Amino acid sequence: MYLHKYLGPATGDNGGNPDATLPKYDTSNPLFIEDLLLLENRDRKYDQDIYVMRGVYRAQDIDFDLTQFGLFLNNDTLFITFHYNRMIDTVGRKLMSGDVIELPSLRDYNPLNSDIPRALPKWYVIQDASFASEGFSQTWLPHLWRVKATPMVNAQEYNDITKQPFEPNNIWDPGNFYPGGTTVLYGDKYYISNKNVPPGTEITNAEYWTEKTNPASIADWQSTRPKDLELNDAILVQAEAEVPKSGFDVVKFYIVATNSDGTPANPESATYTADYTITDASRTVANDGNTPRSDGYTAGYLTGDGKAPNGLPVTAGVNFPPAPVAGQFALRLDYFPNRLFRFNGTSWIKIESDVRTNLTPGANNNTLRSGFVNNTYTVNTTDLGNIPSRQSLSQALIPDAVNGDDGGNKTANPYPATQPYQKSS
């Protein structure tokens, strides 16, 4: 078995300004704890050297665990036994939680994906370790060390292993012949042959060799993350097609126009073209009853969409249109959210605000709430530099020895581009 020895939390800066629960370590030690509050070692460091060890475990078939409520597959947990003295001589310490074991006997030499460049290895992470009960001699001295191991997943803790290139470890030899398409390792870089490479050809010969940039990592082939992202993206696309915006779509409902006294108006008393040219010029303010005064019975929570009822035309702009006629609709783009008005013959009356927005986080999800929560702009000061508008409580409450004094009069982050003549949200 091949052992990836756990060295301890990653040294150096562990992100941002650490507090008392996030100490910085100058040396690696498996006894150190990265996060003293959550008791986690998220950024782990593993030895670049691989230790070869002999271990014994019992192969298992796929079986159901009937001792639990329901059916559980119980074939992914291995109990591996090592000779204690050999383990100490090889590794220098006892195997512990966090060590990763690679089992060559469980390699998948025939993966279903034919694009995978080599056999898929199988990694297990040690979860627990202790002396094996069958390993005590007649003098009650232990000789065997037993570990419990479960399959390794593509998690942050194992980035030191999973981010390694998943390429065949063919060390380049200038005296060898290489067929076209062969990948070799030279130093810490991978090269692929453009065509058949005769013996004696240097790796720097661009006619025969091309450096591989950003080679696929172990996680790219071994992990289910790429497929999970593909599934998630497909679900998002279908969700946006079925529910494109928040709230309720009331465009399909017909709204009856009413007179000033609330009685139903004659919808054919006057009609409007796209430029609001009235066909019945004998009526002015009386034409106020030709279009609905509001959303009527469809008004509710998150129903405003900035569209006029019954699909009537709307004049959009940053100002009200000149010389309007009664019943005309205008959408003001300089309001945030955009606001729909209706002219009743004497004044513009607010109908609704365009509060329906895209449900997927991103540039199209433009609401007052998202603008407030995702405020990335900074406020420049004369002595304390730029103060971020968005700060987490964990950072805002941390005392700073220099009180943020990094110079003043710095350029602040600009306001976002929203609507014409609108400063910000």
Scanning the structure block, which residue is given the tokens 């449900």?
359
What's residue 329's pLDDT? Answer: 92
What's residue 18's pLDDT? Answer: 60
Domains of the chain, residue spans: 2-162, 243-358, 375-425
pLDDT (tens digit per residue) in 161-205: 998 888 877 889 988 999 988 888 888 888 989 999 999 899 989
Which residues in the chain show pLDDT less than 70? Answer: 12-18, 65-74, 266-289, 363-364, 366, 383-385, 394-425
What's residue 412's pLDDT? Answer: 66
Task: Provide the b/e sequence for 358-368 (b: ≥16 CB within 10 Å).
Answer: bbeeeeebbbe
Nearest residue to 131 via CA among 153, 152, 156, 148: 148
Contact 92, 71 (CB under 8 A): no
Contact 14, 24 (CB under 8 A): yes
What's residue 13's pLDDT? Answer: 59
What's residue 232's pLDDT? Answer: 92
What's residue 157's pLDDT? Answer: 93
C-alpha–C-alpha distance, residues 317 and 374, integer Å: 27
What's residue 281's pLDDT? Answer: 42
What's residue 415's pLDDT? Answer: 58
pLDDT (tens digit per residue) in 296-337: 888 888 888 899 998 888 999 999 998 888 888 999 999 888
* Phi (first) and psi of residue 185, to 5 degrees: -110, 125
CB atoms within 10 A of CB 50: 11
C-alpha–C-alpha distance, residues 422 and 415, integer Å: 10
Provide CB contacts within 8 A for 41, sequence distance 6+.
Answer: 8, 9, 32, 33, 34, 35, 98, 157
What's residue 299's pLDDT? Answer: 82
